[in-house]
C-alpha cells in the first residue's frame, strides 16, 4: 500500500497527530505539511490532518482535499471545541463533503491546546464562537492517550 500523510498545523498539535499516524503505517509511506504535499493521485491511501477555522477545515487543507479523488481517505483533526460537539461534527461533515470523489474510510478528532494569543483575540470578540467555553479543557492536548486513540482508530479504519 502506498500511503500519504498530509497535515496542516499552526501550533504543532495536528503535526503531532500526523507523526503518530505516520509511525503506524508500514510499507511505502510519505509525510508532508500541506504546503509541500504532492499531488494525491497514485496513492492507495491519503490521510489528511487539519485544524478548524470558523467551523471548517483550515483553508490550505480545504484546498488540498478538493484535489483528492478516487482513493481511500482518513481524516484527522485538532480543535479547541469539546469532542463530539456540534462544532466538531459540522466541521467533519464539511470535510467529508469536500471528498465526494473519494472514499472516506474513517476519521479521528481530539482537542488541541489553543494558542493563548488566539484565545485572547477570540474572547475579545463581541460574539465569541461557541467552542470558546471548551478551550480550557484542551490544555495539554493532544496527549499520549490522544495519540494512541488516533492510532487505534486508524488501524480499525484500514483493518490492520
CA neighbor of 17 nearest in space, from 82, 84, 76: 76
Residue 129 has pLDDT above 90, yes or no: no
**Phi, psi angle pair for 66, to nearest 5°:** -65, -20
pLDDT of residue 160: 81
Cα gap 132→119, rounded to integer Å: 8
Three-state secondary structure call for residue 21: helix
pLDDT of residue 122: 86
Q: How many residues belong to the chain?
A: 160
Torsion 118-123-125-131 (CA) sign: positive
Q: For 93-119, how does the pLDDT look when each residue is reduced to its tens digit (9 = 90+)?
A: 999 999 999 999 999 999 999 988 888
pLDDT of residue 130: 83
pLDDT of residue 4: 98
Question: Bridge-partner residues for 6, per DSSP?
Answer: 32, 48
Three-state secondary structure call for residue 144: helix
pLDDT of residue 78: 96
Give percent above pLDDT 70 in the chain.
100
pLDDT of residue 75: 98
Q: CA torsion 48→11→56→105, rounded to 10°?
A: 20
Residue 128 has pLDDT above 90, yes or no: no
Compute how many other C-beta atoms are within 10 angstroms of the C-beta atom of residue 85. Answer: 16
pLDDT of residue 119: 86
Mean pLDDT of 27-32: 97
Q: For 36-95, how does the pLDDT look when each residue is reduced to its tens digit (9 = 90+)?
A: 999 999 999 999 999 999 889 999 999 999 999 999 999 999 999 998 999 999 999 999
CATH fit for domain 2-158, picks 3.40.50.360, 3.40.50.620, 3.40.50.20, 3.20.20.210: 3.40.50.360
**pTM of the predicted structure, to 2 decimals:** 0.94
Mean pLDDT of 122-130: 88
Three-state secondary structure call for residue 159: coil
Cβ–Cβ under 8 Å, residues 52 and 11: no
Q: What is the largest CA-CA distance in the chain?
A: 50
Amino acid at each position: 500500500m502506498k500511503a500519504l500523510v498530509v497535515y496542516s498545523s499552526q501550533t504543532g498539535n495536528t503535526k503531532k497527530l500526523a507523526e503518530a499516524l505516520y509511525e503506524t503505517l508500514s510499507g511505502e509511506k510519505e509525510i508532508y505539511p500541506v504546503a509541500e504535499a504532492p499531488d494525491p493521485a497514485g496513492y492507495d491511501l491519503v490521510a489528511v490532518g487539519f485544524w478548524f477555522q470558523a467551523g471548517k477545515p483550515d483553508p490550505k487543507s480545504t484546498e488540498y482535499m478538493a484535489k483528492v479523488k478516487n482513493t481511500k481517505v482518513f481524516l484527522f483533526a485538532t480543535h479547541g471545541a469539546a469532542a463530539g460537539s456540534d462544532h466538531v461534527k459540522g466541521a467533519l461533515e464539511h470535510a467529508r463533503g469536500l471528498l465526494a470523489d473519494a472514499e472516506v474510510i474513517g476519521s479521528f478528532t481530539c482537542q488541541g491546546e489553543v494558542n493563548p494569543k488566539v484565545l485572547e483575540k477570540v474572547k475579545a470578540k463581541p460574539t465569541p464562537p461557541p467552542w470558546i467555553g471548551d478551550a480550557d479543557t484542551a490544555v495539554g492536548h493532544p496527549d499520549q492517550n490522544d495519540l494512541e486513540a488516533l492510532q487505534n482508530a486508524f488501524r480499525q479504519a484500514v483493518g490492520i
